Amino acid sequence: MSVIRQKLAKREGGAIDRSQDIAKLQEFYKLYRERHKVDELCDDEMKLRESGVFSGNLGELERKTLKRKKVLATLKVLWSVIEDITKEISPEDAANLISEEMKKVMQKDAARTEDVVAYNIIPLDSLSTTNLIVTFPEVRAAISSLQYHRDLPRLPNTISVPDARNSDMLDLLHCVFGFQKDNVSNQREHIVHLLANEQSRLGKLSGNEPKIDEGAVHVVFSKSLDNYIKWCNYLPLRPVWNNIESLTKEKKLLYVCLYYLIWGEAANVRFLPEGLCYIFHHLARELEVIMQKQTAEPAGSCISNDGVSFLDQVIYPLYEIVAAEAGNNDNGRAAHSAWRNYDDFNEFFWSEKCFQLGWPWKLSNPFFSKPSRKEQGLISRNHHYGKTSFVEHRTFLHLYHSFHRLWMFLLLMFQGLTIIAFNNGSFDTNTVLELLSLGPTYIIMEFIESVLDILMMYGAYSTSRGSAITRVIWRFCWFTASSLVICYLYIKALQDGVQSAPFKIYVVVISAYAGFQIIISLLMSVPCCRGFTNACYSWSFVRLAKWMHQEHNYVGRGLHERPLDYIKYVAFWLVIFAAKFSFTYFLQ
């Protein structure tokens, strides 16, 4: 029916006559079917498959299969349009317009499109004899390892599985947590690839029914859940399993499937890897409870008004607050302290404080409160979480704060060389006494650094970990007291001379402090010594010393250079500085 006639019918308030539309579509359906000789095309393809001679002419079979799929896909679209139009008329009129014979032909053609299913590399949801990858023993073993087994609860009757395959673990997770269908299909193929690739590294499988090797499953499990295991050890928190050695092959695969389904549907929340660990931890605990039942049922955390949806109930609340914060950054021009970025959200899950969010999400928690924009364009926060641990303040003080070690080194070398130069290179008692002034200079610069630490952390005190705040305050108190004591002792030593008690105490204090700093630096920097401190991390003294030297963050731990690289690095800078200061002292 023409568009003009439809508009006229709507304007006059009358019903739209769809009989001509149905007749035209039927006529086009018949002509398209006859033109492409659908029955002959399907018969030729079937004969070629059954003859078994297509192995020598695989291109011909692929060409016929591709043509059949395109033709049947078009016919299926036409059939679906005809079905939708017939719903607008009465059943009696629809029966008169579409004969029973024509309806059977259309239904038959629609049934032939069952194998027209999208896939990436391995067609798991449809039968395929032309894709040779499905015949590889590693792929067959990987597919069979994901099959449903007796330890899993029964699937409800409402869950349908394609005829081309049997039900598997991902169907169970799809039923329980409501993952999207396409996500489940993608991750099923993804996991099969991971298992098959790892199995191929271990060696070929033999037999008509190959089984995946336990070692291949363990490697995939360890690599996939490596971050979750490290996250649990860091908090510390017991994983969802009591003992990794007691986990069966099937249980490991179930956890791997769950983790990749979470990752595949996480959208931008993938940029919060520890946030995904938190989600996985709680979903796995829910799964453990459901596994004890006879029939699988939806998880309580994923039940929504429209059914079961992991995306709506778990991902969307987190994505919504991340998007709200990103929308308030004024295209990057807003101050860093005014809005939370991905790092702030992710670092929130680096402490046990994250469990205040509960499960399912406690949306009343301030973590989920959105920023509001005032009329002047400034960002307003009422009962709202701020920055997690790091706040970037735009100030020239970063010139010293970010490179304080370099400034300290240059200033101490300048002071030392100047003292030596003004004493004509002689190392008498007076020169040594003046060189000991490097101690007060060093400790005062450390005190300035501790003050800047406090200033630069402003804006994150309410949400930072207690250990981070305690460390900043402790360093400030320590260097304040140290600078007062060392400066007082040095001034008294200058007044009373090198034979006085204050001078001897000052030398002992400076020597002890320098020796302690050298030992700590060696333990934290030299690779072999660092391994020793990591092994002794359970000792309170070692933990305290490492904590004072550097805050123990989740990211960056264990990232150290090899011993040979460290030696080359130190030797390079020793040569550079020796040449620089020698030239400065003797020639300038």
The 10 Å Cβ neighbour count of residue 208 is: 6
- Name residue 147's beta-bridge partners: 168
Peptide bond into 360 cis (omega under 30): yes
User: Which two tokens mark 303?
Assistant: 């039940």
Categorize the per-residue pLDDT at 49 as very low, low, confident or very high, splitting at 50, 70 and 90.
low
DSSP 314: I
pLDDT band at 454 (very low <50, low <70, confident <90, very high): confident
**pLDDT tens digits for range 120-136:** 777 777 655 556 777 78
Name the residue among 248, 265, 247, 378 with its Cα closest to residue 318.
Answer: 265
pLDDT of residue 184: 92
Handedness of CA 297, 302, 304, 306 (dihedral sign): negative
Q: How far apart are CA 565 and CA 43, in angstroms?
A: 68
CA distances from 175 to 161, 229, 504 (A): 11, 26, 77
What is the predicted pLDDT for the residue at 54? 46
Residues 170 and 162: their CA atoms lie apart, in Å, by 13
What is the average pLDDT across 515-543?
Answer: 70
- Segment 185-212 shows an average pLDDT of 88
> 45 and 121 in contact (C-beta within 8 Å)?
no
Structure confidence by residue, pLDDT tens digits, 241-256: 988 888 999 999 999 9
How far CA 573 is from CA of 27, 246, 407, 577, in Å, comes to: 84, 50, 16, 6
- Positive or negative CA dihedral for 457, 463, 465, 469? positive
Mean pLDDT computed over 409-435 = 84
pLDDT at 193 over 90: yes
Contact by Cβ (8 Å): 120, 186: yes
- Specify the higher pLDDT residue, 558 or 281: 281
What is the model's pLDDT at position 317?
92
Q: How far is CA 465 from CA 353, 392, 577, in A?
A: 8, 17, 39
Query: pTM above 0.95?
Result: no
CA distance 431 to 362: 67
Q: Is pLDDT of 377 > 50?
A: no
- Residues 439, 223: Cα–Cα separation, whole Å: 49
Is pLDDT of 228 > 80?
yes
The pLDDT mean for the chain works out to 80
pLDDT at residue 69 is higher than 70: yes
Query: Percent of the chain beyond pLDDT 70?
Result: 77
pLDDT at 515 over 80: yes
